[in-house]
Amino acid sequence: MAAMKHLQVTRLIANHNLISTTLSKAMTTLSMSQAWLTKKVVPDVIKEVPPNKLGVQYQEITVNEGNVLKPRQAKSPPAVSWGVQDEGSLFALCMTDPDAPSRSKPSQREWHHWLVVNIPGNKVEKGETLSEYIGAGPPKDTGLHRYVFLLYAYDKKINFDEKKLSNTSGDGRANFSISKFAEKYKLGKPIAGNFFVAEFDSYVPELYKQLGLS
């Protein structure tokens, strides 16, 4: 009987390890690239390259560690995916631009575009939206901006003391720091990330109109 129980426990552990490995692989199919360093997302936004690649899929294109997107391609919220090893975990997701208003003079670093917290599993739509999604809107003649997605995991619901921001105004978006936000709420290091770069296109004036900007 003891041997039988031991065998059952061993099988349970083996199955758990297999599931954890599978979910971990689901987080990323490719190792994180040096683009985080060469494009200086590290150290401009975070101190270390995240261990996993976050799945970020727009309608027309997949985000892939520094590839170029057009703002029009990123005007609507993307589908974001990651593996969940613990069903009880909660997550915080952020999209932020460290190059506002330009990379050469980032006086508004960071300008955050999206902030969702207390996400159960990987169901972003069921999380608590602190800042509604605003697409990429780099000003004209400011070159390529970096748009960085970061994911944090924690085990208990957190009461975030932040003003909720709509996507009809740019108020409250500038001079944000995802690192300081994570430190404030003890979120630890990001467990996954991804980013793209974009520069001005014909969609940007439409976005500025949405935000009440000239």
Q: What domains can you pick out in the chain, each with its CATH number? A: 2-210 (3.90.280.10)
- Tokens read off for 58: 């727009």
Q: pTM for the whole thing? A: 0.85
Helices (H), the chain: 2-27, 35-38, 41-44, 178-184, 204-210
pLDDT of residue 2: 40
pLDDT of residue 33: 84
The answer to whether 150 and 96 have CB atoms below 8 angstroms apart is: yes
Regions of the chain where pLDDT drops below 50: 1-30
pLDDT of residue 13: 33
The answer to whether 45 and 98 have CB atoms below 8 angstroms apart is: yes
